[in-house]
Amino acid sequence: MIEHLSTYRISDLVPFSREAFTSLVESYNQDIWPFQIVALLLAAALIPLVRRSDAASARLVSGMLAITWLWVGLVFHWKYFSTINWPAKYFAGLFVFEAILFLLLGVIGGNVRFEAKGRWTQLLGLGLFLTSAFLYLPLALLLGQRSSEVLLFGCGPSPTALGTIGILLLAQRGMARVLLWLPAALWCLVALITCYGMS
Amino acid sequence: MSGIDRRYFLKVLALSAAGLSVRLFAEPQKEKRLTKKIPSSGAQLPVIGMGTWITFNVGENQKLRDARTDVLREFFNHGGGMIDSSPMYDSSEAVIGYGLSKLNYPKTLFSATKVWTSSASEGLKQIKDSQRLWGIKKFDLFQVHNLEGWQEHLKTLFKMKEKGELKYVGVTTSHGRRHDELEKLMRNQPLDFVQLTYNMVDRSAEQRLLGLATERGIAVIANRPFDGGDLIDRLKEKPLPPWASEIGCANWPEFLLKFIVSHPAITCAIPATSKVAHMKENMGAGLGKLPDSSARDRMVKYVAGL
């Protein structure tokens, strides 16, 4: 078994080309337009909510994140990505699971609360969120990509996961935060492997 | 000159003139397309087929599907036969079906796909799905992908063959994996085909499996002929050997593919590509002469020295 595993390369785990993935993203972006604007407005609304420490705002943040994870899971992964990547059905499951966690732990349980953090934690958390929500597109354009090829926070898995990790850095410590981090971190690993395999 | 001599002379002159005009105006001899015999049936199969891993997995995108249809068109224009796919390759089967229906299912098509699941009932569903996606009822070849669930799937496939629903039954491995298990199957099962990895830098199959295939009358399909593209990437900037034309090779794909299909046990190779120009190069390996064993040794030494 170990002997067989060693014969696998990362590229063997990625069953599609960069060309196919880019075309898929372009079709997806075209089909969901102007949902990208809604997602950007949602991201903008999260910032003041995260900076408040009251329970109602925290529940609202969890609710909005639950919606984004549910959308990415059911629409991007299940409906689109699975047409060229059969594991995407399992990725959809991961994203729906995260949405349910935010619902149960954050909205219903009220276990996700935000508090004032040290300067570096604030910088890292907010920086990660603002980059994934608002700088993803300009950075991609600078690197020569077309806007139609870029997935945004709330629409695509990677910026959504990164942005979520950033927001959770601003949350109170506790089991809820750890549990919510796990799917996001797992996706980031999958995305890294996929990018490497496509290169 | 006597009368008889003159008549004879004129006759010879006339015949010579006729011969010369035939030589001047006849169409140039086309190079013969290389085929090899499928041992279990005696049918001939073109030695260069095509694979579809990654290259044909383009989903619903119309522009990309049409581009892949162009690749298929080039394949069939050069007398292509075997197209190999699998449910593991996501939308590749659907894209093949799209292209084949646009091209009206060329007569030279040799359809080959796989069952890829450990579940027997799921296997039956996959077989029906493949028939629907390709748009064909009777496949030429069904293979058990990576030997997964072979115990049940081979029973299903042999039954289908008995009923005339399938022509050939095979199994596949790749990357040199599970050769021991493959050897056992080759000895104990009435397989028509095996598919395994064989190329210039991975010749592990020569140790036992290729000889066994010949002994047992099993056709061999060589996958990963370019080692997943790495061989071409490594060699494309390097010069071909000066004697490449002696073995009928004008470029690296031809060189690498002719090495593979010149092994007596190999029936065909299945390079995959998404580009028409590359398909043309690949199909060039299916023409002309094949290197003999001393030329093959020279080819291996040359590449090793680069």
Tens of pLDDT, residue by residue over B132-160, are 999 999 999 999 999 999 999 999 999 99
- Sequence-ordered list of residues with C-beta below 8 angstroms from that of B202, at least 6 positions apart, any chain: B175, B176, B224, B227
| DSSP alpha helix (H) spans, chain B | 3-25, 62-77, 92-102, 120-134, 150-162, 179-188, 209-216, 230-235, 252-261, 276-284, 293-304
d(CA A61, CA A71): 15
d(CA A159, CA A178): 19
Task: Tell me A73's DSSP state.
Answer: I
pLDDT score recorded for residue A163? 97
pLDDT bracket for residue B294 (50, 70, 90) = very high
The answer to whether the beta carbons of residues B84 and B273 sit under 8 Å apart is no
- Sequence-ordered list of residues with C-beta below 8 angstroms from that of B135, at least 6 positions apart, any chain: B97, B100, B101, B105
Which residues 193-252 of B have a C-beta within 8 angstroms of A? 228
Q: Coil, strand or helix: which one is B105?
A: coil
Query: What average pLDDT does the segment B65-71 reach?
Result: 98
The answer to whether the beta carbons of residues A19 and A199 sit under 8 Å apart is no
Chain A residue whose CA is closest to B54: A16
pLDDT score recorded for residue B140? 98
- Sequence-ordered list of residues with C-beta below 8 angstroms from that of A105, at least 6 positions apart, any chain: A62, A111, A112, A176, A179, A180
Whether B22 has a pLDDT exceeding 90, the answer reads no
| Secondary element (H or E) of residue B82 | strand B82-84
Express each pLDDT in A7-66 by its tens digit.
677 777 899 999 999 999 999 999 999 999 999 999 999 999 998 889 999 999 999 999
Counted across chains A and B, CB pairs separated by less than 8 A come out at 53
Q: What ipTM does the predicted assembly reach?
A: 0.90
Beta strand pairing status for B44-46 and B35-37?
Answer: antiparallel
pLDDT score recorded for residue A9? 75
d(CA A44, CA A41): 5
Whether B271 has a pLDDT exceeding 80, the answer reads yes
Contact A15 B57 (CB under 8 A): yes
Query: What average pLDDT does the segment A126-139 reach?
Result: 94
Q: Coil, strand or helix: which one is B50?
A: strand
> What length does chain A have?
199
pLDDT score recorded for residue A13? 83
pLDDT score recorded for residue B6? 66
- Sequence-ordered list of residues with C-beta below 8 angstroms from that of B291, at least 6 positions apart, any chain: B247, B258, B259, B262, B298, B299
What mean pLDDT value characterizes chain B?
92
Express each pLDDT in A162-176 by its tens digit.
999 999 999 999 999
Contact B57 A24 (CB under 8 A): no
Out of A9, A17, A24, closest to residue B54 by CB:
A17
d(CA B242, CA B154): 47
pLDDT bracket for residue B27 (50, 70, 90) = very low
The b/e string for B80-99 (b: 16+ C-beta within 10 A; e otherwise) is: bbbbbbbbbbbbbbbbbbbb
pLDDT score recorded for residue B23? 42
Task: Tell me B111's DSSP state.
Answer: E
Out of B90, B177, B228, closest to residue A16 by CB:
B90
pLDDT bracket for residue B5 (50, 70, 90) = low
Give A29 to chain B, closest Cα distance, Å.
13
pLDDT score recorded for residue B24? 42
Measure the CA angle with vertex A154, ends A148 and A156; round to 5°. Answer: 50
Query: In 10 A of CB B68, how many CB atoms?
Result: 23
pLDDT score recorded for residue B25? 42
Express each pLDDT in A68-97 by its tens digit.
999 999 999 999 999 999 999 999 999 999
pLDDT score recorded for residue A12? 79
- Record the pTM: 0.90
A53 close contact with B: CB closer than 8 A: no
B11 close contact with A: CB closer than 8 A: no
- Mutating which of B53, B54, B148, B273 best tests the A interface, going by the most A Cβ atoms within 10 A? B54
A2 close contact with B: CB closer than 8 A: no
d(CA B215, CA B196): 17
> What length does chain B have?
306
Q: Give me the sheet containing B82-84, strands edge to edge.
A: B82-84, B110-115, B139-144, B166-172, B193-197, B219-223, B268-269
List the structure tokens of B188. Answer: 């104990």
pLDDT bracket for residue B10 (50, 70, 90) = low
Contact A84 B228 (CB under 8 A): no
Residue A156, amino acid: G
The answer to whether the beta carbons of residues B149 and B110 sit under 8 Å apart is no
d(CA A55, CA A112): 8
Express each pLDDT in B74-101 by its tens digit.
999 999 999 999 999 999 999 999 999 9
Q: Coil, strand or helix: which one is A152?
A: coil
**Of B66, B70, B81, residue with least CA distance to B112:** B81
Whether A199 has a pLDDT exceeding 80, the answer reads no
- B306 to each of B250, B281, B285, B293, how far by Cα in Å? 18, 22, 22, 20
Contact B64 A15 (CB under 8 A): no
